[in-house]
Amino acid sequence: MTTPKIAFVGAGSTVFAKNLLGDILSYPELAGADIRLFDINQERLDVTEQVAHRVAKAVSAAPTVSATTDRVRALDGADFVINMIQVGGYEPATVTDFEVPKKYGLRQTIADTLGIGGIMRGLRTVPVLVDISRDMERLCPDALHLNYVNPMAMNVWGLARLSPRIKTVGLCHSVQHTAGELATDLGLPVEEIDYLCAGINHVAFYLKFEHRGEDLYPRLMELAESGRVPEWNRVRYEMLRRLGYFVTESSEHFSEYTPYFIKHDRPDLIEKFNVPLDEYPRRCVSQIGNWRELQAKLQDPNEPLEVRRSVEYGSLIIHSMVTGQPRVVYGNVMNSPVNPDGTPGHGKLISNLPDECAVEVPCLVDKQGIQPTRIGRIPPQLAGLMQTNINVQALTVEALVTGNREHIYHAAMLDPHTSAELDLDQIWALTTDLLAQHGDFIPEELQAAD
């Protein structure tokens, strides 16, 4: 692979695309890459194209950059496909995911991974990812699909069921971000931390967290017991106290994956654990504002565009597969992987989680591609907590695979947060209401009945 061909699907996510472009083009071996930018929004696409050229100039790279609203053109012959779409956008889809549940007394923080919001996002996102993968089967069947889209576990799982020929790895930054946050809490350089993490996306735990051979868990536990923890991170330190291990995803995310922290009749819990309700809509508004600022900034050709290396894994994977330099990244893959020829792999990666679920584990990457690490058995209390989330993921994927919309209701009734707040009649009514509201974005057979 001399000149890698890299397609950005959903390139209108300009700020995120800017970070990935800076990471990729900073490598001399990738500086001449063939960059294909695709989005359905021409205005956003135009801005990202300008950003790509400015990033290339900033890092002294000379890529070939093309921008198109034709997905076939972007995917044709690609070696890597980076996916960062958001089906339905902030408006109307995300707003609907928050505002309709509120009418039933159900409040959320992020609603992109689990809960009733995560279920709806999965229903409208997996079919689009499958459609993209079907194009890849025709146009670039050997390409690696790097998925950054949530709900990560549902998306990876749904693709494995509905488009298994395409090699997919789900990428998140929660593992490396949280490692940095914990290092800061302990006053240690993150580059000196040695850790091992495993689980499911957003509910993975550090099975090992050490500094120069010292187990850091006693120090973290001391922080948790003392209450001297960052105000924005009280939920996760509380779970450390209860489970003995630290979870990767943020407190605002994790608070809605369990039934313990958000209760409509317990405002004391919201205050005690500093739970930011409606956090994701606020972030969306802020991100739209940041995009507008970047758009305005680009009007001045003399305005410098700062490029810093991010902690995202995408460029590391591409660089390792192009050059052969081995690295370890954390990826989301199926728990029972298959070989390239379709035969079963070497058993489960996490032995006390189901065969058919998506897990997040360390993966070796080199010219051979993504090679997940077999973890074995994880602590049973962690596996048990993950299973409550896997139940919801499994039923949402089953609804998509079979077209049986009753499984959407089953997913909602088994969701930890939803079932802790609403009775069965409310859950059924809410689910029906949301399916009707999202009718333009989910498969017709799964929409609410007339």
**What amino acid positions are annotated as catalytic residues?**
173
d(CA 333, CA 67): 30
| Pair 247, 236: CB distance under 8 Å | yes
Both structure tokens of 68: 């198109």
Using the structure block, give the residue that is written with the tokens 């960059």: 35
What is the chain's percent helix, strand, coil content, to nearest 5?
50, 15, 35
Contact 170, 152 (CB under 8 A): yes
CA distance 20 to 349: 29
Q: In 3D, which of 96, 344, 353, 342 has the Cα closest to residue 201?
A: 353
**CA proximity to 277, closest of 117, 123, 393:** 117
DSSP code per residue over 65-92: EEEES-HHHHHTT-SEEEE---TTIIII
Residue with tokens 């405002």: 267
Cβ proximity of 116 and 285 under 8 Å: no
Q: How far apart are CA 48 and CA 39, in angstroms?
A: 10
Helix (H) or strand (E) holding 289: helix 279-297
Q: How far apart are CA 177 and CA 193, in angstroms?
A: 13
